[in-house]
Amino acid sequence: MGKATGFIEVFGLTAAFVAVDAGCKAANVTVETLDKNKPGNADALPVPLIICIKFRGSVEDVKAAVEAAEIAANGVSGTVSKHVIANTEESTEKMLKLNAFDKK
């Protein structure tokens, strides 16, 4: 079993960078690859791109990072969802490296 993983989805790249910065300043975490999603109803959203940020570290640090990231992103364009996995399972660990930014 691995470290804790925190996920937070935010609207747009600017909010993602602001959220990553805040999360990393708030706690001792690392960031896995960012991921993107353009949902079918993109035109109805505040920003037509959703970015998923993945923080890694201890449970306490990941929770603190996700909370700080949420506050920061809400000051830009908002958040969609957030979740913390306390002890990431090995097969899930492999999936954390996948991202849509690599796709053309």
The pTM for the full model equals: 0.87
Report the phi/psi class of residue 11: left, alpha or beta, with left for phi > 0 and alpha for psi in -120 to 50. Answer: beta
1-42 pLDDT, tens digit each: 569 999 999 999 999 999 999 999 999 999 988 998 877 777
The single residue listed with the structure tokens 């913390």 is 84
Q: Is 19 in contact with 69 (CB distance < 8 Å)?
A: yes
77-103 pLDDT, tens digit each: 999 999 999 998 888 887 887 777 766
**Segment holding 96, helix H or strand E:** none
